[in-house]
């Protein structure tokens, strides 16, 4: 496993992995990962705007058209985890056995566990932390990546609002599912900021996991108090 880039596929929920994978599907999955890893390394080395998609294609031995067959935009090469989150929201948030907050915490917990598992697998803890910090700096210093991230968050909020509306027999345009969805999605940047804050002082991946998880759960507890009142429309508030 490369120590230069995070194995973002490790952040996928385990049940989302294909139960049976044929040779063709495996080749496509591995090529997609190669494209994303190569692009991320090149972006972190030279800057996002300085790297052309054609250079990424050449480095991977494929055509530029092939790159765009896997990733619709240059930004999605490095921020494809947003699609995984989108899919997880559609399935996990619809689980009526979980409250909305419990569902979101399950998704976030899986992503955090995947990240800290990657950190645990690295030989050099300091170098692994530096990679994560550089990745965060890449996003923070690139306007197009920040804009893409905002657009993806808007899509995630819209999907979450639709799911919450079905759960409560409301319309996705009603203010209750809209504000609830926006509040739930705010836990993602909170987890990101907690990672960045605790990464500087955490001595082990396990300590980092516990510190970040504690911050997220504190915020989620506050949300849960308000979202407990999100009930089907036919009932009074």
Tens digits of pLDDT across the chain (237 residues): 344 455 544 444 443 455 567 888 889 989 998 999 999 999 999 999 999 999 999 999 999 999 999 999 999 999 988 888 999 999 999 999 999 999 999 999 999 999 999 899 999 998 999 888 899 999 999 999 999 999 999 999 999 999 999 999 999 999 999 999 999 999 999 999 999 999 988 999 999 999 999 999 999 998 887 777 666 654 433
Single pTM value for the model: 0.83
Q: How many domains does the chain have?
A: 1
| SS3 of 54-118 | HHHHHHHCCCHHHHHHHCCCCHHHCCCHHHHHHHHHHHHCCCCCCCHHHHHHHHHHHHHHHHHHH
Nearest to 43 by CA among 147, 123, 131: 131
| Buried/exposed 10-28: b ≥16 CB within 10 Å, e otherwise | bbbbeeeeeeeeeeeeeee
Q: Taking CA 137 as the corner, what is the angle to CA 39 and CA 103, rounded to the nearest 5 degrees?
A: 85
Residue 162 sits in a domain whose CATH number is 1.10.357.10
CB atoms within 10 A of CB 147: 11
Give residue 181's domain range.
1-237
């Amino acid at each position: 496993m490369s120590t230069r880039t995070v194995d973002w596929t490790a952040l996928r929920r385990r049940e989302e992995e294909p139960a049976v994978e044929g040779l063709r599907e495996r080749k496509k999955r591995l090529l997609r990962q190669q494209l994303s890893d190569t692009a991320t390394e090149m972006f972190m080395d030279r800057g996002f705007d300085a790297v052309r998609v054609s250079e990424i294609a050449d480095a991977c031995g494929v055509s530029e058209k092939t790159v765009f067959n896997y990733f619709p935009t240059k930004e999605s090469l490095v921020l494809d985890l947003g699609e995984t989150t989108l899919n997880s929201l559609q399935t996990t948030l619809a689980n009526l056995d979980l409250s909305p907050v419990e569902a979101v915490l399950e998704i976030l917990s899986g992503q955090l566990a995947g990240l800290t598992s990657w950190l645990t697998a690295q030989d050099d803890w300091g170098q692994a932390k530096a990679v994560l910090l550089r990745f965060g700096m890449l996003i923070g210093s690139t306007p197009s990546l920040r804009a893409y991230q905002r657009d993806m968050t808007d899509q995630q909020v819209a999907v979450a609002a639709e799911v919450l509306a079905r759960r409560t027999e409301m319309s996705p345009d009603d203010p209750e599912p809209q504000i609830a969805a926006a509040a739930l999605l705010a836990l993602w940047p909170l987890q990101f900021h907690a990672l960045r804050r605790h990464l500087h002082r955490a001595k082990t991946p396990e300590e980092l996991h516990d510190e970040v998880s504690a911050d997220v759960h504190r915020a989620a507890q506050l949300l849960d108090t308000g979202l407990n009142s999100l009930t089907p429309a036919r009932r009074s508030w």
